[in-house]
Amino acid sequence: MVVANFYGATLVSDAYFYALQIPSLAIIILGGVGGPFHSAAVAVFSKLIGADEKPDDEVNKLFNTFLTVAFVFFAICAVLGFFFADKIMGLIISAGSPELLALASAHFKIMSPIILIGGIIGIYYGLLIVHKQYILPNLSPMVLSLVVIAAISLAHNDKSGLVLAAATTIGAVCQILIQFPKLRQIGYRIKPNFNIKNNTQFRNICELLFPAILSSTVGQISIYIDMFFASILVTGAWTAVVFANRIFQFPVGILVTAFLVPLFPIFSRLAGEGDKNSIKLYFNKGVGVLFFVAIIMIIFIILLAEDGISLVFERGAFTSDAVSMVSLALCYLSFSIIPYVFRDSITRVYYAFNDSKTPFIIAASSILLKAVLNWLLIIRLNMGIAGITLSTSLITLFNAVFLGIFIYKKIRLDYKILFINFAKMIIAGVITFVAGWFICREFNNIILPKYIFEITKIGVVMLSCSIIYTFINILFKMDYANELLRKIKKN
């Protein structure tokens, strides 16, 4: 909200978000909760040490080997990023103006140290999760946000966005610093170690880690394809796509993280014990709940996107045109919620069986399809920003379907019950959407001051749709709805 207020959807915001993409790959995609470094740490260390145990010398040595190798790798990447910033930005946004390229390169140089931090944060996250320390890994990214908010609010008149870039780097450094004291308290000590030769456990980490890194990087190639196509659209197009994705990630990211962070170590332990029936049980329950909530989220987004974005963002440099661009992008992106939650859930099952190669192969195979879809939707069908996010939704569906098909090589999941329930939820969702559309249409005839109108409309529509959706699912005898009702009555 603060970034939107000060920078809007402009050339400066475009430059910042273009430059941020590679640092965010390191700190969010590779090093974030659910990323390859976090996943590799959880998958391997959860089998070596109990949640309530102190790490012994061997575990500490493995931790330091992992940390040292990650540090060297990311340090090299950060240095290369700094010295080749112009060429990297020129490659990604080759259709952009010279002013956009120059400003994006300046931002990228300032944020290149973030690349060094990414994998290290992921390792710290993973170890904290192994020891059931869930709060700190999930709250620490707030530190980065708070630093950014404070910096640009104090600077107030940052016309180039360089203060924003510098604050992002400082925030990332703060994010890693607050992790270390807790790890030290648990019993981990930093002592550089290159014990790689004949190290079975480190080899297990690498076998899981490198295909997962490649898979995540391949996924980012799709984003770079989006960046190229966005650079040929109107100024602010990439900012609109980024804001749509941020809004999308707010509820969906929280939802997926809330379920999968505690489930992943359970999957890993059960896979190690060979208890496939329990994995099926946990998977179906987890994905079923995610589907139940995902459908109502899609309804809220389609019905209320423009009102919600206007209420939250439309002030300062963020104009009504920017609201329209972000709303359009978000509505098409919302269709990816269901395959998104399924994809991320089933990927954790692959990782639990130490298989990151299959997700990589599937992700790699979608790159050409992404480019073709972008060309078809944006150039041929002239869908503009909507074409970018619609193609993202279709690619997410592609990945989810093939991950679901090839998991049989590891475990035969019970899809029948899951998708029968899903079909019932879809029917409930369609009925709810139609009812919500009529409520919105009638509400639009009411004359109220802008902010009061938006707040009231959002509240009334969300409450009405939630009641209708839950009631229909209760009629369908859905366990998720009945459990939700029991919890409401209990509280």
* 175, 44 Cβ separation under 8 angstroms: no
Hey, what are 417's tokens? 């019950």
* 404, 415 Cβ separation under 8 angstroms: yes
d(CA 40, CA 70): 12
Dihedral angle at the C-alpha atoms of 109, 105, 247, 356, nearest 10 degrees? Answer: -70
d(CA 195, CA 416): 47
Sort 456 into a burial class: Cβ within 10 Å, 0-12 / 13-18 / 19+.
middle
Tracing tokens 């915001």 back to the chain, one arrives at 13
Block means of pLDDT (10 residues each) for the chain, 491 residues, are: 89 93 83 76 82 84 89 92 93 84 95 89 85 79 91 87 95 88 88 81 81 71 87 88 89 75 78 86 86 93 95 89 93 93 89 84 90 94 93 94 92 87 94 96 89 94 94 85 66 59
C-alpha distances (whole Å) from 396 to each of 122, 280, 336 are: 24, 23, 6
d(CA 32, CA 287): 21
Reduced to 3 states, what is the DSSP secondary structure of residue 284?
helix
d(CA 437, CA 448): 19
DSSP code per residue over 351-382: HHTT--HHHHHHHHHTHHHHHHHHIIIIIIS-
pLDDT of the residue at 491: 59
Q: What is the pLDDT of residues 251-277, one digit of tens each?
A: 887 777 777 777 777 887 888 888 888
Q: Which amino acid is at 19?
A: A
Hey, what are 229's tokens? 């196509």
d(CA 314, CA 337): 25
pLDDT of the residue at 315: 87
d(CA 75, CA 339): 35
Query: Length of the chain, please?
Result: 491
Reduced to 3 states, what is the DSSP secondary structure of residue 169?
helix
Of 331, 313, 310, 461, residue with least CA distance to 6: 313
Of 455, 485, 471, residue with least CA distance to 296: 471
Q: What is the pLDDT of residues 43-95, one digit of tens each?
A: 788 878 877 788 888 888 888 888 898 899 889 999 999 999 999 998 888 77
Query: 135 CB contacts (<8 Å, ≥6 apart)?
Result: none
